Structure 1
Amino acid sequence: MKGGLVFKVLKIGPVKIKLHRPMDGKVKTLTIRRQNGKWYACFSVEIDAVPLPPTGESCGIDVGLEKFATTSDGEMFDNPRQLRQAEKKLKQHQRRVSRRKKGSNRRKKAVRELARCHEKVANQRRDLHHKVARSLVNRYDLIAIEDLQVKNMTQNHHLAKSIADAGWGNFRLILTSKAESAGRKVVEVDPKQTSQLCSRCGAEVKKKLSQRWHHCPVCGLSIDRDVNAAINILKRAV
């Protein structure tokens, strides 16, 4: 592999590896695995946490399907719906697999192509999670999120695919991990009625999922539904 580094691996010998980025810290373990016809070397390293300087800022995060995430400051991160975007191509690969004779080399090749398509979707979703989490951790000392039971929510057959495509559970893990290493705090709060209560006066304002705007008949607050929910989430955390 051109431009790669050579590592001496116990019981295997010299292995040429192309690093995606420089490694910091002390290497503790190395796992070599094959996935979809490609070989990967996964290093785990031990490094000291480097806390970020405090900003004095806090925010609440409301995750959703219309927008991937909305902050209590009104910032919105788009939901690219990677799985939905790739559905047509995935179905084509799936049909190609079903047409191939079982056990044939052509079927094995078609299975690899299907797996690579799924892998690309997963990588795109993970990339979004890392970018959003990094943006939040860099700017806020305290980040409040809903303690969502994603597994239970996917039992809704109308929304299951969209919820799985958003990957809220993995995003929460990535956000918590980055916050811990940066000396930030992530607080999980009860998600009950965060969208139905007015963030200014606390009045209950019933809304269907299709209603994207919050109008409070009591205090007159008019605000985006997700921003209203994010403010309520922050209030519960502080």
Structure 2
Amino acid sequence: MRKTYRYRLYPSKAQMSRLGDTLESCRWVYNETVALRKTSWETNEESISLYTTNKELTQWKKDKQELKQVHSQVLQNVQVRVDLAYKAFFRRIKSGETPGYPRFKGKGRYDSFTYPQSGFEIIDDRTIKVSKIGEIKAKIHRAVIGNVKTATIRRYPTGKWYVCFSTECDLMPEPHKNDNAIGIDVGISKFATLSNGSYIPNPRWVKQEEKSLAKAQRKMSKFAMGSDGWLKSLKVVQRIYERTSNRRKDFTHKLSRSLVDNYGIIVFEDLNIKDMVQNNHLAKSIMDVAWRMLIDTIKNKAECASSKVVLVNPAYTSQMCSRCGTIVKKELKDRIHKCNCCNLEMDRDFNASINILRLGLQSLG
């Protein structure tokens, strides 16, 4: 099982400067690798392999002294990222999607680098050591379980630094303490409606910060782009976005932990969110509630807790009567389910959650 642990770093000013220089060196290698592959195809119609770009990297390090200040495997990993970007590009072409060609990274657009095998060490719960940077203060607030495979250092837009350790561990979760099952219908008016009749209100994180964000953006617009005042205002805007993101993540993790601890079987609709956000009237609200984040977080926690997460076909879950199975046509504005056959009248989302639970249990036999 692969797990990731994220910890906050507190580098000194000198270390922040070296970390920033490392990111710039990685950005240079990334752009040069993209340019190399792009030129090769445009001139000779040849696709360069990762092995070929690695050989070019050796020559680049001889010509550019700054690259010698970066761990060799970090630079190799940058070229692995380019290779993965090209593989994803060709995969999208084959599947008929609209592909986006790998882009060059502008200044400030490259924000992380990875030690794929070595060059890093956890000294204690307050310090980590990374090659070419030195010992950095860190807050290791929980123990790292398993064999650490990679370490990724990332700079966030607000200037905060974090390290993520990816580990591989042999985890044998105990059987779940109960077989309770729950069906969950996610929505916008209510964040989630459960098949036991309870519901979770929508926190609407973006709406909570709309006024603060608009005020900060208005202030930023008064300055010339790139000026000291503009950069200072930009930091305020970035902090608002970060605060919204942190609240969303905190809510999602707490809710997912509660569901996984109390239910052995959790059933959701397998929603096509990519198509749903094409609706211009609902796109902002759909992106704010982050249904996919909730489902993915529950899946990750369920794997360690021996819970089962089931995704069912969403077709007719809202239209079908949960008592008699009759299809009752509704528009999106209709919030009450009324069945003319069995006279069942209940909340539309509650009715859907019962249908979702039934389909999930049927799929499990």
- After TM superposition, the score normalised by the length of structure 2 is 0.61
Match of 2:132 among 7, 11, 15: 11
| Unpaired stretches in structure 2, ≥5 consecutive residues | 1-9, 11-124
Give the equivalent residue in structure 2 for 1:40.
Answer: 162
Q: CA deviation at 1:136?
A: 1.2
Q: Which has the higher helix share?
A: 2
Deviation at 1:197, TM superposition (A): 0.8
Identify which of 140, 158, 176 aligns with 1:53. Answer: 176
Check if 1:173 corresponds to 2:314. Answer: no
Moved more, 33-42 or 108-117: 33-42
Q: How does 1:98-113 map to 2 (within 5 A)?
A: 98-113=221-236
Contact residue 257 and residue 298 of structure 2 kept, 8 A: yes
Match in the other structure for 2:204: 81
Aligned in 2, Cα 1:46/1:91: closer, same or farther, shift over 3 Å? same
- Which residue is 2:213 aligned to? 90
Q: What is the CA distance between 1:11 and its match in structure 2? A: 2.4
Supply the distance in 2 between the matched residues of 1:93 and 1:52 (Cα, whole angstroms). 50
Any idea what SS the aligned residue of 1:228 has?
A: helix
Aligned to 2:249: 126
Matches within 5 A, 1:14-29: 14-29=135-150
Q: Which has the higher contact order (CA 8 A, sep 6+)?
A: 1
TM-score w.r.t. the length of structure 1 is 0.92
The sequence identity of aligned pairs, in percent, is: 47
For 2:167 and 2:294, the matched residues in 1 are separated by 22
CA RMSD of aligned residues (A): 1.8
Contact map agreement 1:68 1:77 (CA 8 A) in 2: yes
Work out whether residues 176 and 307 of structure 2, in 8 Å CA contact, stay in contact via their aligned partners in 1. Answer: no
Please identify the structure whose Cα radius of gyration is greater. Answer: 2
Q: 1-side partners of 2:151 and 2:236: how far apart?
A: 27
Q: Residue 155 of structure 1: SS of its match in structure 2? A: coil
- Work out the CA distance in 2 between the residues paired with 1:135 and 1:210: 31
What does residue 68 of structure 2 align with?
none
Residue 21 of structure 1 deviates from its aligned partner by 3.6
Give the whole-Å Cα distance in 1 for the aligned partners of 2:173 and 2:129: 30
Cα distance in 2 between the residues matched to 1:209 and 1:186 = 27
Q: How many aligned residue pairs are there?
A: 237
After superposition, the Cα gap between the structure-2 partners of 1:220 and 1:49, relative to the gap in structure 1 and judged at 3 Å, is: same
> What is the distance in 1 between the residues matched to 2:141 and 2:236?
23
Q: How does 1:117-196 map to 2 (within 5 A)?
A: 117-196=240-319
The one-letter amino acid of 2:162's match is Y
Q: Which moved more, 1:33-42 or 1:164-173?
A: 33-42
Would you say the 8 A contact 1:49–1:182 is kept in 2? no
